[in-house]
Amino acid sequence: MKIWTFVLTIILMILVVPMTISAEDYTIPELEINAHLQENGNVFVEESHTYRFEGEFNGIIRELIPKRGTDILNVEAFDSDQPLEIEQDENELRIHRAGEDETITINLTYEIIDGVERYSDLGQFYWPFFDDSNESDYGDLTINVFPPAETLPAEVIAFGDDEAFETENIHDDGSVTFSFGEVPSGSKGDIRVAFDSELFPATSLKEDTPLREIILQDQQTLKDKAIAFDERRDNLASLSAILLPVFAIILGFIVLLTFFQRQRKMNHIKKDMPTGGVPSLIMSLPATILFTKYQHQQPPSEVLTAALLDLVRKGNVTLLPDEKFKIIDRTNLLSHEKVLIVWLFDEIGQENIFDFEMLKTYADKKSNFSKYKAHHSKWVKELRNELKEHYLYKKRTRLRWSIGIASLVLAPFLLLFPFHDLVLSFLLTLFLFVSTVLFSILYNPKTYKGAKISLEWSQLNSYFDKVDEVRKHTWTKDDQMKVFLYGLGTNNEVMTKKNKELILAFSNANMSTSNQTDNSFANLDVSSIILISALASSSFRKTDRTTGVVSADSSSSSGGFSAGGGGGVGGGGGGSGAF
């Protein structure tokens, strides 16, 4: 079940995205903008920003990005009738008004130069007061557009795009109100209002051509797009109601099938397992440590220590009284044991002798760093080759590829569902997609042999501290040494804190000699092995860091507005904030 714990963790990390907020905690419950179109084509704008602050604040931010071919001048800000200081950095205005825990309303006025585009029949105001760069939500946004003079509603064309779509209301005097309501950050909402060209006598013609048919066609295009969008959304919603449950059922069936297969295999292994004993070694002890603890990561220095002391256990190496190791038998060695002996005793040591002073001297020379790393890499590679030789994992390539390819069915909907505002369908699709991909990557079931090794040594970890001293005394000295070296190599805290008890058990004079293995290890002073293990691990760890086998930390303003660059029509736009 570790795979599914990992899957859920990844999904939560994707879905629970931390929000970026400013130093001030604020909301903008209301924003009203009044745009008064002038006969000369300029637009006088009044903005009323209502902010609600919690905590201390210094003021508000308003970004104004004029369209290409226009400019913004005469910016002023007021709190009631009190003028406020404005600090301008290109298009960003910082309006200073300090306070703490209060709701304030800041009035901002400015003039848009050449904001109205005049054609032979119409004059249009096509403007983005905010764009997708805006980082603040608006609780209730209203934009009013007033013509230079009253006009008949039938002579007015008004519509908006994105957040402004179908929010317009044309009044009897010809003015237009866009009632946005709530507007989320990162969204756009261009407004477009056109009046009779005669209302702008002092405005130069942009083009001496009619605009009415073009603007009406643009309006109809937006409506057609909205109708098509709604149709696609309904079709996708119907499809998701069928696709997602079917996909979830199939994936759930596969997961349950693999789970029950694993449980059946584990139950069969448990029936044949002896209780309270030390597992027999199906492969070498260092390979067992690597398989049960470090198969997906770089083995730490403790594994190297355990591998060296395992050679002592097996009788290939002996421990001399002065903390030196000596080779006494180079026969019957596994590939990684041969590499280890050549590395430690031939490359670092001399005349079949190795000690930690030799290791320190060797590591003091930078010219030896690359050789040390090469030997280490070769030793780890041979260890992993032993794992491959024992076929500890089943080959499920066809199943994994099939599931991985099946996830591609969901991939397009990760874009289509959120684009069509089908949030729940998107979240379910994301969950199924991530689950499917991770399953295809991580599903790697063990063979009976691999599961047996994992389960036996895992159970030893769990019951080791519960084994009484009487039971430990029945273990052979070889078994006790295997347990100690396994605990050393896996950094098992329970086994480590039991070192003192192990030493006493190994040294117990009353230990039955009938329980000893008949090899050169029988007469070994196990207490010396245990005591030197700390020195060995410390020396190898320091050398690994020195030579680079592991990293050292692996153990623990212009005064004007810049036109264009916004996300709205004509490169315009803007947004709000606080500081």
- Band of residue 496 on the pLDDT scale cut at 50, 70, 90: low
Cα(318)–Cα(397) distance, integer angstroms: 45
pLDDT at 476: 77
- Given 1.20.120, 2.60.40, 1.10.260, 3.30.530, which CATH number is that of 9-210? 2.60.40
Query: What pLDDT, on a 0 to 100 scale, did the predictor assign at position 135?
Result: 87
Kindly list the domain boundaries of the chain, sorted by start residue. Answer: 9-210, 225-272+395-444, 283-394+446-547
Residue 571 has pLDDT above 80, yes or no: no
Reported as a pLDDT band with limits 50, 70 and 90, residue 307 is: very high
Q: Distance (Å, rounded) from C-alpha 356 to C-alpha 379?
A: 19
pTM of the model: 0.56
The 10 Å CB-count burial string (b at 16+, else e) for 10-42 is ebeeeeeeeeeeeebebbbebbbbbbbbbbebb
**Six-digit token pair at 392?**
């500890």
d(CA 512, CA 473): 8
Q: What is the pLDDT at residue 21?
A: 38
Sheet order of strands, 168-170 included: 82-83, 71-79, 103-113, 43-54, 25-37, 138-146, 176-183, 168-170
- Section 57-73 average pLDDT: 90
Tens of pLDDT, residue by residue over 352-407, are 999 989 999 998 999 989 999 999 999 999 999 999 898 888 877 777 788 888 88
Cβ neighbours for 345, distance < 8 A, ≥ 6 positions apart: 325, 327, 352, 353, 354
pLDDT value at position 3?
46
Label residues 211-241 b or e (16+ Cβ within 10 Å = b).
beeebeeebeebeeeeeeeeeebeebeeebe
Q: At residue 140, what are phi and psi to the nearest 5 degrees?
A: -155, 105
Residue 562 pLDDT grade (very low, low, confident, very high; cuts 50, 70, 90): low
The sign one gets for the Cα dihedral 143, 149, 151, 157 is: negative
Mean pLDDT throughout 127-152? 92
User: Average pLDDT, stretch 473-483?
Assistant: 77
Pick the residue with more confidence: 495 or 193? 193
Please say if the pLDDT value at position 510 is more than 80: no
CA gap 214, 216 in Å, rounded = 6
Which has the higher per-residue pLDDT, 48 or 504?
A: 48
What tokens does 256 get?
């349950």
118 strand-pairing partners: 123, 205
